[in-house]
A and B are shown apart, each in its own frame.
Chain A
């Protein structure tokens, strides 16, 4: 019995199997946001449907749900009514904001007119806001507390529960 071969071999086997086993639980497409706990990058963007420029700092003092989306994104269609309903229910307590990028204003307008327009929707410039927030795809939503700190990020379309859970973090 060659001890060296056995020990070295079994160590290698254990390492490989352990690493791959741990990998099985993960979703390779999932990326954690490094911005959680940091102040949200500020911006002032044009709102769809008006000539207003809306600055993020306007909403200091209450939690903000910042949702990045686009009209060509299929899951965003499913998420939209959920957000609209929650925004209406929340009223003044929580501010909902949408940021659209890689899209055309006319398309956004007709989408919102058809499907509901419960909160301001802003148009990003060359994806710069998305990059500053580390947006990897759409839809992605950031939850800001009343001091403008990012407390949570949710990638993918949200259900009412998802919004609920993350809003609680923002309200603390």
Chain B
């Protein structure tokens, strides 16, 4: 009976990553390294049935299955790109928690950098403008904090 089942089992075929992303392009992982990498790659995949949790963090059975799939692919030597690409193929970009660097998703990476650049320009020009204005009422600012002024005095005295 068991032998019969075994034979049956050998004929079972589930869809395999190989048909979609080709042969593994990295080295197979084992042990502690495998566990760590499974967590890291899982943290980049979104659990489709949860509200925004990653596959590593979610207790849902779907997420457990996906973690298992990630582990298996890593142990066979697939790289992170291949694994992410495999899941993207069936779930779409929705499943990638880290937006891709190409296509429309690249905009979300560029915008903050643009904001920093524009912000720096604005702050620097504003600071320069403020520096160049003449002092309106002389002594007013430093006197506001008498303790600091006294400290500075004492620090500057020999």
Contact = CB atoms under 8 A, between A and B. Distances in A.
Given A43-B15, A44-B13, A124-B14, A134 B8 contact: no
Interface in A34-80: 34-35, 41-46, 51, 53, 55
Interface string B78-112: 00000000011111101000000000000000000
B95 to A, nearest CB: 8
Which residue, of B13, B66, B89, has the highest number of chain A Cβ atoms within 10 A?
Answer: B13
Nearest to A33: B92
A128 interface: yes
B37 to A, nearest CB: 18
Nearest to A70: B61
B12 A127 contact: no
Interface of A: 31-35, 41-46, 51, 53, 55, 101-102, 124-137
Contacts of A102: 61-62, 65
Contact of A131 (B11, B61, B65, B94): B65
A44 B92 CA distance: 24
Nearest to A134: B90
A132 B49 contact: no
A12 to B, nearest CB: 12
Q: Interface range on chain B: under 10, 10 to 19, 20 to 34, or 35 or more? A: 20 to 34
Contacts of A35: 89-90
B15 A134 contact: no
A42 B14 CA distance: 7
A53 B90 contact: no
B48 interface: yes
Contacts of A43: 13-15
Nearest to B89: A34
B12 A131 contact: no
Given A128-B15, A129-B14, A46 B92 contact: no
B92 A34 contact: yes
Contacts of A46: 8, 12
B15 A129 contact: yes
B8 A55 contact: no
B19 interface: yes
A136 B8 contact: no
A32 B66 CA distance: 19
B147 interface: no
